[in-house]
Amino acid sequence: MEKNLGEKFIASSNDRELIAEFKRNPIGHHSPELQRLLNQFRGIPMKDKFCLLVIKPNRLWQLAKTSGVAGKPVQKLPKTFSSQSDAEWYIFRKRWKSLTGETLKP
């Protein structure tokens, strides 16, 4: 699991709108509130940070995580995605869980 993203907090109804907004459009324009959340998610240190490996360009990606140590291999994980949006949503759910303790439905 990635670094704990901070103190646990209870998601409010407003926060829940961010979940829907992200699922609709994970890459591109976001509301300021969602962007702040994504800045927190995406700005964490490199140790055990999720990333993608290109298996088939623009068609298939494998989940992996960086080591945070120069020269130490990127660790491949047993999970693949056929779209970037799927990968983004999967990682959003993991990071949301880490932040709030709540498991979002796929």
Partner 1 sequence: MTMKITAYADRTSVAPEESINFMVNCQAKSFKADFVKLICGDLNPDGPGYKERPIKTKANGTYPGRRQVIHAGSFIQLEESEHFNSLESFTLQAFIWPTLPENGKQVIIGNWSQRNSNGAELSIGPQNSGLMLTLGFGKDKLEEFSTGKNFLSRNWYFVSATYDAKTKSVSLTQEALHNHAKINDSAKKKYKVHNHGMKNCARMATIGAKFLKLDKNRTVCQNHFNGKIDSPAIACRALNSAEIEQLKHRQNQSLMSTDVVAAWDFSKNIKSVNVSDVSSNRINGKLVNMPVRGMTGWNWDGDEMNWSHAPNQYGAIHFHDDDVHDAGWEVDVTLKIPKGLKSGLYAARLRCGNNLEEEDYVPFAVLPPKGKATAKICFLLPTASYMAYANEHMGTDAPIAQLLAGRLVEHQHQDLYRNEHREYGPSCYDVHTDGSGVCYSSRLRPILNMRPKYKSWLGGKGSTLWQFNADTHIINWLEAMKYDYDVITDEELHYEGVDCLERYKVVLSSSHPEYHSKEMWDAMATYQDRGGRLMYLGANGWYWRIAFHEEADGIIEVRRAEGGIRGWEAQTGEYYHSFTGEYGGLWRRNGRAPQKIVGSGFTAQGFDISSFYTRKPDSFKKPVKWIMSGVKPDEKIGDFGLVGGGAAGLELDRADVSLGTHPNAYVLASSEDHTDLYLLVCEELLINYPGLGGQENPLVRADLVFYETDNGGGVFSTSSIAWPGSLSHNNYKNNVSKITKNVLDRFVKNGPIID
Those residues with Cβ within 8 angstroms of residue 53's Cβ, 6 or more apart along the chain or in another chain:
61, 62, 63, 64, 74, 76
Which 3 state secondary structure label does DSSP give 62? strand
Under the binding rule (CB under 8 A), the answer on residue 71 touching partner 1 is: yes
Q: Is 52 in the site for partner 1 (CB under 8 A)?
A: yes
**CB within 8 A of 94, min separation 6: which ones?**
1, 2, 50
Q: Which stretch binds partner 1 (CB under 8 A): 4-12, 15-23, 34-42, 98-106?
A: 34-42
Choosing from 44, 48, 80, 104, the residue that interacts with partner 1 (CB under 8 A) is: 44
Among 19, 37, 38, 99, indicate the residue that binds partner 1 (CB under 8 A): 38
Least distance CB 38 / partner 1 (angstroms):
8
Q: Among 18, 22, 37, 88, which residue sits at the site for partner 1 (rule: CB under 8 A)?
A: 88
103 binds partner 1 (CB under 8 A): no
User: What does R_g of the chain's alpha carbons equal in angstroms?
Assistant: 14
Q: Please give the sequence-ordered ranges of beta strands (E in DSSP) within 1-106, or none if there are none.
A: 49-56, 60-66, 75-81
